[in-house]
Amino acid sequence: MNNIMKKILLLLVLIGTLTSYAQDVPFDVKQLGDKPGFNKAVRAIKLGDIDYERGSEEDMANALKHYVVADSFNSKSAYLNFKMGVCHLYGGQKYEAKDRLEFVKQYGNSKDYPDLDFYLAQSYQLDGQWGKAIELFKAYKETLADADEEQRFFINKKIKECRVGEELASAPVRVWIDNLGPGVNSSYSDYGPVISADNRELFFTSRRPNGDDAEKDETGYNYEDIYSSSRAFGEEWDEAVNLGKPVNTKKHDATVGLAPDGRSLITYHGINRKNGNLQITKKDDAGNWEKLTDLGSNINSDYHEEAATLSFDEKKLFFVSDKPGGLGGHDIYVALWDEANQTWGEAENLGENINTEFDEKGVFFHPDGKTLYFSSAGHRTMGGLDIFKSEYNSDTEEWSTPVNIGYPINTPDDDVYFVVSGNERYAYYSSVREDGFGEKDIYKITFLGEKKKPAFAASDLVNGSLDTTYDERSAAGNFDKRDLIIVEGKVSDKISGAGLVSKITFIDAITNESISELVTEPDGTYHILLETNKDYAITAEKDGFTLASDNINPRFEDEGNSYTKNFGLSALDGTVVINNTNNTTDANDSNNATNNTDNANNNNNTDSASNNNSNSSSETKPNSNNESISFTLRNIYFDFDQSTLRHASVGELDKLVKILKENPEMRIQLVGHTDSRGPAWYNNALSKRRSKVAKDYLVSKGISASRIDAKGAGERELEVSDNQIENMSSVRKKEEAHQKNRRTVVKIID
């Protein structure tokens, strides 16, 4: 036999060996031998089949545990591969289903598996093989009986999903998707992230065993516990820690929603994942979580409430429920906070523009007060639950048509529990991916804008000012998102520091348009989301107290994701507030203050908010320092080098008019201050003229001229010295310092 013939025979032997190895090998004791191993495998299959026939997600997971035992004995059984493929398809490791089902397609008897094309088509859809999936879905639909309308409807929906998938995958959105790493994720399932609007606090649910109790639930897995991680500006997330009691208990405790300021956390608490209630806890002043309280009967029901999200002012709650009366499956509802009864009002379904006959889940309301993110199986999805975005139009009181946020954020599998940072540059969600540490991991999404030309890449890096460390990928583009920042702070007694319930007005200092009015919390704190790189005039006021105002221009590069602005007020009668025991607002007055934002500069509309403290109880004492009361107004504007009063100054002066009318015996001194630029003699004269103009305005509003003494201090009492300004690092900071020196001080005199 020559060498060529030997090679041919050897090749035939190898082909025969491979063929026999790859073929269907049924479980038959005559063929397999090893009776003890065979008996163990057969018993495992029987136990797995019991769970398989029950059909729930948990049952499929339990069935797979048994099938794995049999698979280790014989991995070439078409019967076993089919069952394991279906279990994977409806379990956590869906991407493992395709190889199993393809084996059955190639080596099994098609008559034994009439639903094979149905399952294999779904595995192709999950794998992004849209054409193959459509082909098999169509083939399977041809085998259905005419009366099987429900299955035919489902198949048609799957085909539509594949076509949407083809469309979205052909034009992927520009994002990076990064695993948060082992400091946050574990070898167990980690999911349900919620974040504060400033991107500093992260809370999530984990099935890891180091919770408060090692007890297992009915599925054999660890009970859910809530973990948290924090980060400094520009840094990575710290190692996650268990929140402990009172938030975590011996049963299921899962993250649901977080207030934008990170101080109110909504959780799901129950004996299992389908039987429980939504609860809320708040951080106290010491940073500890308070005892959980139920959200009430208008939110919780005997059905499944699985997600909730608060508006920025915490007056509106969106939540998900499958209670009767909805449009189908889980629907999204909204409830308003009832200030008078201190509870959530009756919930309202968001309607058919948001909800469908299928499930809507994982709702998240953005701090901008108008954008709703949620997952849906009924809108234009590429498979399972996809994440959608809709915006509320306050004029028409309607939600916009939900838009799929695109691939690769959305996948053919379920994509849910998606949350976005306040500036919309980052988002977080949980996903099952091959680079994960466990079943589900938490990932960060970084949004990129439109692709930039290479010539502009370097400037993008300089001007982007992202809250992250740049790497070589950043040159690909920049973010096409709004720059938003949290402005927060506290209004307090100027001497004692006790918090005061006050009204704060925000005005665009350039356009003089009202941005917002809000009432501080009982402890005097407040927070609001504003656009960066804009000038804002802010005024804090409280009935019976002085005013406080400032002009700010918050920027990411200086402040990070939040900007702090505190205000101190003094009681006009000279007392000092040392303890506010019941410093709460009247419900109607608080609503008026919040809703009257268009009338911030209208003197006739200031009473409702500033009088909201008339019923508050506080402890006071005389001012032992015997110092005269004074306060500074920083939003009285004049044209450059002129004493002409700008229209934007009217709102600030009208507030001073109100104080003088409410205190008819009060006399004041207006002291104008300039910056140090220009000759001292000229600045002194200019400051006198400006004080006189301000006085003339007050007199025009009915205040007697005898009650007002106007004088100028020029540049003699600078708040920021010339030496300090000279050492500042940028022109902008120097200009802001000069602006701080330009002010009007109001002193109360006898």
Q: Any idea what the CATH number is for the domain that residue 403 is in?
A: 2.120.10.30
CA distances from 112 to 58, 104, 116, 703, 748 (A): 26, 10, 9, 96, 94
309 with 412, same domain?
Answer: yes
251 with 303, same domain?
Answer: yes
Strands 275-282 and 264-272 come out as antiparallel
CA distances from 8 to 14, 21, 236, 237, 676 (A): 10, 20, 61, 61, 99
Task: Determine the pLDDT at residue 633.
Answer: 78
Please state the φ and ψ torsions of residue 109, each to the nearest 5 degrees: -90, 115
Q: Is the dihedral of CA 100, 105, 109, 115 positive or negative?
A: positive
489 with 414, same domain?
Answer: no
Read out DSSP for 306-317? EEEEE-TTS-EE
161 with 179, same domain?
Answer: no
Q: What angle do CA 631, 633, 639 make, to 5 degrees?
A: 155
For residues 111 and 132, is the Cβ–Cβ distance under 8 A?
no
Please count the structural domains in the chain: 4
> What token pair was written down for 262?
């990170």
Please state the φ and ψ torsions of residue 458, each to the nearest 5 degrees: -65, -45
Q: What angle do CA 724, 730, 736 make, to 5 degrees?
A: 65
* Domain CATH code at residue 165: 1.25.40.10
Closest to 278 (Cα-Cα) out of 363, 352, 386, 377: 363
Identify the burial level of 364 via C-beta atoms within 10 angstroms of its C-beta, where 0-12 means exposed, 13-18 middle and 19 or more buried.
buried
- d(CA 86, CA 46) in angstroms, rounded, equals 16
Residue 486: count of CB within 10 angstroms of its CB: 27
- Is residue 14, in this structure, part of any structural domain at all? no
- Is residue 298, in this structure, part of any structural domain at all? yes
Among residues 573, 597, 627, which one ends one of the domains? 627
Q: What angle do CA 148, 149, 153 make, to 5 degrees?
A: 125
* Domain CATH code at residue 749: 3.30.1330.60
Please state the φ and ψ torsions of residue 169, each to the nearest 5 degrees: -70, -25
Identify the burial level of 430 via C-beta atoms within 10 angstroms of its C-beta, where 0-12 means exposed, 13-18 middle and 19 or more buried.
buried
- Is residue 475, in this structure, part of any structural domain at all? no
30 with 138, same domain?
Answer: yes
637 with 623, same domain?
Answer: no
DSSP label of 626:
-
- d(CA 311, CA 102) in angstroms, rounded, equals 48
Among residues 169, 195, 212, which one ends one of the domains? 169
DSSP label of 411:
-
Tokens 């054409």 found at: 131
Buried/exposed 154-190: b ≥16 CB within 10 Å, e otherwise = ebebbbebbebbeebbeeeeebeeebbeeebbbebbb
Q: Is the dihedral of CA 431, 434, 435, 438 positive or negative?
A: positive
Read out DSSP for 666-706? -EEEEEEE--S-S-HHHHHHHHHHHHHHHHHHHHHTT--GG
- Is residue 470, in this structure, part of any structural domain at all? no
DSSP label of 19:
H
Strands 426-431 and 419-420 come out as antiparallel
- Is residue 100, in this structure, part of any structural domain at all? yes
- Is residue 4, in this structure, part of any structural domain at all? no
- Under-70 pLDDT residues of the chain: 1-22, 29-33, 92, 210-214, 216-220, 233-234, 271-275, 434, 449-483, 556-561, 579-627, 637-648, 750
- d(CA 303, CA 297) in angstroms, rounded, equals 12
Task: Determine the pLDDT at residue 609.
Answer: 37
- d(CA 674, CA 7) in angstroms, rounded, equals 100
Strands 293-294 and 190-195 come out as unpaired
Task: Determine the pLDDT at residue 451.
Answer: 60
- d(CA 670, CA 643) in angstroms, rounded, equals 15
Tell me how far apart the terminal alpha carbons of the chain are, to the nearest angstrom: 126
pLDDT in tens, 531-554: 888 888 899 999 889 888 888 888
* Domain CATH code at residue 573: 2.60.40.1120
For residues 534 and 558, is the Cβ–Cβ distance under 8 A?
no
- d(CA 262, CA 198) in angstroms, rounded, equals 9
Tokens 């974040």 found at: 195
257 with 140, same domain?
Answer: no
Q: Is the dihedral of CA 696, 698, 704, 708 positive or negative?
A: negative
Q: Which residues contact 373 (CB under 8 A, 6 or more apart)?
A: 363, 364, 365, 366, 387, 388, 389, 405, 418, 419, 420
For residues 255 and 226, is the Cβ–Cβ distance under 8 A?
yes
Peptide bond into 408 cis (omega under 30): yes
Radius of gyration of the chain, Cα coordinates, nearest whole angstrom: 33
515 with 597, same domain?
Answer: yes
Q: What is the pTM of this model?
A: 0.69
Q: Is the dihedral of CA 162, 165, 169, 170 positive or negative?
A: positive
pLDDT in tens, 594-643: 333 333 333 333 333 334 443 444 565 555 554 678 887 777 766 556 66
300 with 431, same domain?
Answer: yes
Among residues 402, 429, 464, which one ends one of the domains? 464
Closest to 560 (Cα-Cα) out of 488, 485, 490, 470: 485
- Is residue 367, in this structure, part of any structural domain at all? yes
Task: Determine the pLDDT at residue 16.
Answer: 38
- Type of residue found at 282: K
517 with 600, same domain?
Answer: yes
315 with 354, same domain?
Answer: yes
Show the domain range for 489: 483-627
365 with 382, same domain?
Answer: yes
Residue 455: count of CB within 10 angstroms of its CB: 7
Task: Determine the pLDDT at residue 608.
Answer: 37
- Is residue 16, in this structure, part of any structural domain at all? no
For residues 375 and 418, is the Cβ–Cβ distance under 8 A?
yes
Closest to 49 (Cα-Cα) out of 76, 19, 70: 70
Residue 95: count of CB within 10 angstroms of its CB: 15
